[in-house]
A and B are shown apart, each in its own frame.
Chain A
Amino acid sequence: AQTVTQSQPEMSVQEAETVTLSCTYDTSENNYYLFWYKQPPSRQMILVIRQEAYKQQNATENRFSVNFQKAAKSFSLKISDSQLGDTAMYFCAFRAGGSEKLVFGKGTKLTVNP
């Protein structure tokens, strides 16, 4: 069974600075996808960024980028130029290829301070 571990329950960052959220996973699959989801307070969860395991190039979406280390089974999220609206729970998630089932970590609560 796949597991996803987020070792940082809470983090904080100053507005305009950069922060990195950690995620590790365990799987025996060769084909899989990794995701970061954002869940703002009292609002619905939205997809931030995704990465396919076969792609060596790290995914980027505007201020969000990932550092995917396949051998280490690590998938960290970097948020550049942090904004107050980035305050949220961030969940790392795994999906095996050929499956639509998402396995989530426990989340990291990120607070961006003015």
Chain B
Amino acid sequence: EAGVAQSPRYKIIEKRQSVAFWCNPISGHATLYWYQQILGQGPKLLIQFQNNGVVDDSQLPKDRFSAERLKGVDSTLKIQPAKLEDSAVYLCASSVGQGYQETQYFGPGTRLLVL
């Protein structure tokens, strides 16, 4: 079974530039998550999708971050314009199951450096 795929793996941009990250979840997983992991901290949920609908985006900085999952499969996270504090690893995860059995599977992440 293929895992969660993310691209690119690394990205370096100047502040005020735009950047986009792509995620392809495990086949059949209806729920998709984007997390931000700043160096030295645990992942923080940015947005959760159930199929193509948003379940939770309460911690997404909506003035600069946007995300979509138009066909309920792969997803794109965009930052426009980027700030220095956006330097982090952006993790995508997808999940299967409910309640106790719900398991999130993580991708390898995209490491973003904003200069």
Contact = CB atoms under 8 A, between A and B. Distances in A.
A, B bound: yes
Interface of A: 4, 33, 43-47, 50, 52, 91, 93, 95, 97, 100-102, 104-107
B48 A101 contact: yes
Nearest to B107: A44
B56 A101 contact: yes
Contacts, number: 44
Nearest to A95: B102
Interface residues of B, number: 24
A100 B91 contact: no
B44 interface: yes
Contacts of A4: 42
Contact of B42 (A43, A46, A50, A107): A107
A45 B35 CA distance: 12
23 contacts: A33-B100, A43-B108, A44-B3, A44-B106, A44-B107, A44-B108, A45-B91, A45-B106, A47-B103, A47-B104, A52-B100, A91-B43, A95-B102, A100-B55, A100-B95, A100-B102, A100-B104, A102-B104, A104-B43, A104-B44, A105-B42, A106-B41, A107-B42
